[in-house]
Structure 1
Amino acid sequence: MSALPLSGIKILDLTRVLAGPVSAQMLGDLGAEVIKIERPGTGDDARAFGSPYLLDPEGKHNNNNSFYLCANRNKKSVTINIARPEGQEIIRALAKDVDVFMENYKVGDLKRYGLDYESIRKINQGIIYCSVTGFGQTGPYAPRAGYDAIFQAMGGLMSVTGHKDGEPGAGPMKVGPSIVDYMTGMNSSIAILAALYHRKVNGGAGQHIDVCLLDTVIASLTHYLQIYLISGKSPPRRGTWGNGGMPAGVFRCADGELMLVVGNDGQFARTCAVLGAPELATNPKFVMNNDRVVNGKEIMAIFAGLFLKNTVKHWLGELEEAGVPCGPVNDFAQVFADPHVQERGMRVKVNHKFDPELSLIRNALTFSETPITEYRVPPLLGENTQEVLTAKLGYDANKIESLKKQGVI
């Protein structure tokens, strides 16, 4: 078995909360050595984002909660107070020997500490310095802070998410999880990998990468925004209705719901046959997909009545046999109970000091030659401080103890 793709790559991670940590975790999964820098005493802001928390051996709550655990495996935690000159010097010393420097401070914050891109580049010419912010390094909003939901709102995602106008509860709606954070983490990882390739293969220099949540959410709206750019009109909220093939949406059955997406005319004809209404496929109002889009309200209402006649299991079986894309509307327990999800191994077990059977979500990438097999537990706060400072900088026990007493580490 070959070494992991990023074996030998060293990353200094000063990011907090979700977008940056997710990116660093992805790179750590791929074999990079990731040193996570946290504030002494409190650590990453995510550690205080609420329950559920792992209980320590004494049954007490601590700073290892679900928000932190989801984004910080395969890292080493080192606590350093970067507000202190001594702490800044430690960061610069560590930065001399890494490939990537990651941070998500407000624009300009790290310059006053001598930890900005220009300062780090002076001591490490090849550094790839990735800044993850809300609004980017330029523009009138650059100094602002923000969180995922703010960008779902400002970037237009909320405007096209939620119940259709005229329905109960209509209005802009936030997507449940912090999806913009996750997508920004993916973009950051892509950018870092591209910069590493450029430096290694093309003989290029290190560089400053500017990734932000607002750019990411806007780019993620793809065909929705293209509708606006072509027509000058924003697409409406559709609830669970599809935005291409029709009919598509959640349909209530005798005992639950399923999601159906009819992507072409052939699938429509087969769906009509399954539902016991083959005549719908030859109705001039529904023959072509464009016809069904125009008459979407009518065909959706007809399908809604037909689906009520039997169970979710029945319809799923019939539709799958007919080759029509469909699926159950699962809660999280059903997701992890699904035999396909189990076969794919999306839930991995790790031996945490507080829970020897802690479950994490596996990395979604699957490689034939360099499989991701090691999932090291998200570290306790400052768990690796002494190890890293000794191995990387040669600090002895006396110096480390002195720095602790000064509140530097």
Structure 2
Amino acid sequence: MEDVISADKVLAGVRVLEVAAWTFVPAAGAVLAEWGAEVIKVEPRDGGDPQRGLVTMGIVDEGAAAVNYMIEIPNRGKKSIGVDLSTPGGREVVRELAKTADVFLTSYLPNRRKKFGIDVDDIRAVNPGIVYVRGSGHGPKGPDADKPGYDGVSYWARGGIATVLTEENDELVRSRPAFGDLLGGLTIAGGIAAALYKKATTGVGSVVDVSLLGLAAWNLSPDVAVSQIHGGGAIPKYGHADAPNPLVGTYRTKDGRYVQLMMLQLDKFYPEAMHAIGLPELVDDPRFADPAARYQNRGELIRLMDDAFARRTLAEWRAALEGISGAWGIVQTPSELCEDPAITANGYVAHTTTVNGTPFILPTNPVQFDEQQVVPPGAPEHGQHTEEILMDAGLDWDTIMAYKESGAIL
């Protein structure tokens, strides 16, 4: 497998041992790989990461040219080794690999970490200075520390995300695949980078914790803060027709598309916006001539703007709003996002291939160093690098074969 292409691999020389599954924690390993780290993914000997099974379960399309994107997204650029942690030999292999790792990254719950001999004390017994990283649903303390957590449960539901995104009287908004997981993976990667800096400057390795529930609270900081101020409450929700600022809203075009305006300083942008929208007569209209009048008559102003937007197509609005100084954008589909000129110019979506050579596109993590775009290689096959990894760790071929014959490794 080729290395990640980067002019400046900021984590070159860092070795990460990842014992994790699904997306949340493995996504952190993918980010670290894009930053130049060597990431060794320890998968169960039988079946590998259970997310590989999403193809056979029909959740990810199956076919000769299909891409198991839910494996590719959080596992690009890694090496894979298949290990049976329920065997003494499997636990020996992981401890051997941990000796030369800078980071140990896991999503396993406390009871499984203890059962498999990969808890903090177990790993630090062979590598005292290692940065030990735990991703969890609900944090390392409290009554639910050993309770399984997933994006849809810990982040979306329990974390309050679904509540704040659902409009009153509407059906509860359903989560998108790995929505919190991918945000969480990037958060974990940032925590690891900080811990590596601390280790480089002090020689002391940290225990790093990130939970999906804590991530949700952070994402909802304004809502959480408001809920505890002056007796509690919520950030006011306005409908389109009575929005306090008509220049902050979504307007439907003639061809059924939407334009999003986001001009928070209404007074500053109002004259320019009205000219661009084709309503210059409203600039001096007494109903909207000053801030108080605009607020008092905002419903009528929004109605007039709705009518104006409905008279032109999306293409026409792109041209009409092109030179305006206020912020606006088109409500795009994921497919359109791939062709967005800012996306292509900055390389935020890369053209790559699976390890089998199947072409596909994959968003890279949004952090770039020295303006260098990343082209990630594909995710490894299950156990693809087992022998290579163990030989690099100093194990001889007879020892590796003995582990294989005992069922400890793939």
TM class, shorter-length? 0.7 to 0.9
What's the CA shift for 1:22? 0.9
Which residue in 2 is equivalent to 1:89? Answer: 92
- Tell whether 2:12 aligns with 1:7: yes
Does structure 2 retain, via aligned residues, the 8 Å contact 1:247–1:299?
no
Does structure 2 retain, via aligned residues, the 8 Å contact 1:76–1:384?
yes
Does structure 2 retain, via aligned residues, the 8 Å contact 1:6–1:32?
yes
Work out which of the residue numbers 47, 71, 91 in structure 2 matches 1:42: 47
What's the CA shift for 1:185? 1.0
Counterparts of 1:17 and 1:140 in 2: how far apart (Å)? 23
Work out which of the residue numbers 271, 274, 280 in structure 1 matches 2:273: 271
Counterparts of 1:39 and 1:383 in 2: how far apart (Å)? 13
- When structure 1 is superposed on structure 2, of 352-361 and 292-301 the one drifting more is 292-301
- Tell whether 2:69 aligns with 1:66: yes
Counterparts of 1:296 and 1:171 in 2: how far apart (Å)? 28
| CA deviation profile, 1:125-173 (whole Å, cap 9, x unmatched) | 111000000001101121211211112111111111033x25xxx1431
Counterparts of 1:44 and 1:116 in 2: how far apart (Å)? 19
Q: Flag the structure with more relative contact order, 1 or 2, with Cα contacts below 8 A and sequence separation at least 6.
A: 2
Counterparts of 1:317 and 1:199 in 2: how far apart (Å)? 53
CA distance 1:207–1:390, shift in 2 (3 Å): same
Q: Secondary structure at the match of 2:207?
A: strand
- Tell whether 2:197 aligns with 1:192: no
CA distance 1:112–1:294, shift in 2 (3 Å): farther
Q: Aligned pairs, how many?
A: 397
Work out which of the residue numbers 117, 140, 157 in structure 2 matches 1:114: 117
Does structure 1 retain, via aligned residues, the 8 Å contact 2:242–2:299?
no
CA distance 1:66–1:84, shift in 2 (3 Å): same
Does structure 1 retain, via aligned residues, the 8 Å contact 2:65–2:358?
no
CA distance 1:244–1:238, shift in 2 (3 Å): closer
Summarize the alignment of residues 1-400 of structure 1 with structure 2, pairs less than 5 Å apart: 3-50=8-55, 51-53=59-61, 55=63, 59=64, 65-150=68-153, 151-163=155-167, 165=168, 170-201=170-201, 203-231=202-230, 232-236=232-236, 246-255=246-255, 256-264=257-265, 265-281=267-283, 297-368=299-370, 371=372, 373=374, 375-396=376-397, 398-400=398-400
What's the CA shift for 1:251? 1.2
Counterparts of 2:357 and 2:62 in 1: how far apart (Å)? 7
RMSD: 2.8
Does structure 1 retain, via aligned residues, the 8 Å contact 2:347–2:374?
no
Does structure 2 retain, via aligned residues, the 8 Å contact 1:153–1:174?
no
The two structures have a TM-score, normalised by structure 2, of: 0.87
CA distance 1:274–1:350, shift in 2 (3 Å): closer
Q: Secondary structure at the match of 2:322?
A: helix
CA distance 1:288–1:107, shift in 2 (3 Å): farther
Q: Secondary structure at the match of 2:110?
A: coil
- When structure 1 is superposed on structure 2, of 289-298 and 105-114 the one drifting more is 289-298
Residue 22 of structure 1 aligns with an amino acid whose one-letter code is A
What's the CA shift for 1:395? 3.0
The two structures have a TM-score, normalised by structure 1, of: 0.88
What's the CA shift for 1:222? 2.5
| CA deviation profile, 1:26-50 (whole Å, cap 9, x unmatched) | 1111111100000123111221224
- When structure 1 is superposed on structure 2, of 150-159 and 329-338 the one drifting more is 329-338
What's the CA shift for 1:345? 2.2
Residue 307 of structure 2 aligns with an amino acid whose one-letter code is G
Counterparts of 1:125 and 1:241 in 2: how far apart (Å)? 61
CA distance 1:289–1:377, shift in 2 (3 Å): farther
Counterparts of 2:152 and 2:295 in 1: how far apart (Å)? 31
Which residue in 1 is equivalent to 2:3? Answer: none
Does structure 2 retain, via aligned residues, the 8 Å contact 1:11–1:101?
yes
What's the CA shift for 1:20? 0.7
Counterparts of 1:355 and 1:225 in 2: how far apart (Å)? 47
CA distance 1:286–1:43, shift in 2 (3 Å): farther
CA distance 1:262–1:90, shift in 2 (3 Å): same
Does structure 2 retain, via aligned residues, the 8 Å contact 1:271–1:322?
yes
CA distance 1:107–1:242, shift in 2 (3 Å): farther
Counterparts of 1:302 and 1:172 in 2: how far apart (Å)? 31
Long gaps (5+) in structure 2: 1-5
Does structure 1 retain, via aligned residues, the 8 Å contact 2:352–2:362?
yes
CA distance 1:342–1:98, shift in 2 (3 Å): same
Counterparts of 1:37 and 1:97 in 2: how far apart (Å)? 15
What's the CA shift for 1:324? 2.7
Does structure 2 retain, via aligned residues, the 8 Å contact 1:136–1:142?
yes
What's the CA shift for 1:54? 6.7
| CA deviation profile, 1:64-121 (whole Å, cap 9, x unmatched) | 6110111111110000011111101111111111110000012332112221012211
Long gaps (5+) in structure 1: none
Q: Secondary structure at the match of 1:321?
A: coil
Residue 53 of structure 2 aligns with an amino acid whose one-letter code is A
What's the CA shift for 1:299? 4.0
Q: Secondary structure at the match of 2:75?
A: coil
Counterparts of 2:121 and 2:292 in 1: how far apart (Å)? 55
CA distance 1:384–1:208, shift in 2 (3 Å): same
CA distance 1:12–1:353, shift in 2 (3 Å): closer
